[in-house]
Amino acid sequence: MQQKLQLFCIPFKKEYSHLLLFLSLILITYVCYSILSPLNQRSAIGIGFLSQLILPKTTSNSTLKSYCDYSYGKWVWDETRPIRKYTENCPFLDPGFRCQQSGRQELDYQKWRWQPQRCNLPRFDAAEFLRRIQNGRIVFAGDSIGRNQWESLICMLMQGVSNQSTVYEEHGNPITKHNGYLSIRFHEYNLTVEYYRVPYLVMTDRLPPHAPPQVRGVVRVDTLHWYSEKWIGADVLIFSAGHWWNKDKTTKMGYYFQEGGNVNMTMDVMEAFRRSLNTLKSWVMQNLEPGKSHVFFRSYSPAHYRQVNI
């Protein structure tokens, strides 16, 4: 059965690259590979209602199927490729993500790989990736799944650095249990890989005057977070949102949706999410340089944690 990854990209001019889809994080490899592989001027990936925001109305189904789309494919079991040594010694890896050090003994997950429908992916080469993205900026902005992907990419790239002491958080902040934003600098390559914690991407705010008593706060669907000022000029931007756009994390907590100065007490969560994405789209079109920046969006995916009763 063919599967489809849920993300989109805004296409820009062509480049070449080599990149392997890292097993555990589909989006990370997609982003990396997009830097290095041809980007068709008309290419885009439909993701339900998000495709209406990104795809030009003149794009036909035949056009979308005429090129290699890495998001169409399936997981395959592959014992032919040698398993690369997996290490949990990355200094930027949170203790909670050190699976083997925490007792995981089953290693078969390393034998699964993503097989696109119409092409193959070369294996990831950290040194080559760093060389090609030299003097660049990669920005992750969004929820905690985006943070996991940011952390994973950093540890993947650490394998291509000759002196790991030249990689550091620019402001001296610890990455564990840190809110706000973090910026890891690869000094040898003048590269930063940045993460901004903005679960809704748009602003959350205190309740306006004369709001109904059940309103504890608002999500301003027409105003992007002020961190967005820091994103301008980045070479790659990966936006991650979706998991906070549900009733449990909005209306049931007393957070309703605001446009302008008005709080809408009846707006559906999915409608609010749609409007926030239109806000994001407008910001991208107005603030990013088409020939320079590559933009990706990652929405809902399987949850990255679960409660286990021991």
The pLDDT value given to residue 57: 43
Name the strands in the sheet holding 217-224, side by side, starting at the edge strand that comes first in the sequence. Answer: 202-206, 217-224, 255-259, 262-264
Type of residue at 152:
S
Confidence of residue 23 (pLDDT cuts 50, 70, 90): very low
Cα 107 from Cα 58, distance rounded (Å):
46
Find where tokens 């078969």 sit.
Answer: 108
Q: For residue 292, what are its two tokens?
A: 């320079």
Cα 238 from Cα 301, distance rounded (Å):
15
The per-residue pLDDT for range 44-53, each reduced to its tens digit, is: 333 333 333 3
Q: Is the pTM of this model over 0.85?
A: no
Confidence of residue 141 (pLDDT cuts 50, 70, 90): very high
Q: Which residues contact 32 (CB under 8 A, 6 or more apart)?
A: 17, 19, 124, 129, 153
Q: Which residues contact 217 (CB under 8 A, 6 or more apart)?
A: 204, 205, 206, 207, 254, 255
The per-residue pLDDT for range 180-225, each reduced to its tens digit, is: 899 999 999 999 999 999 999 999 999 888 888 899 999 999 999 9
10 Å Cβ neighbour count for 164?
A: 14
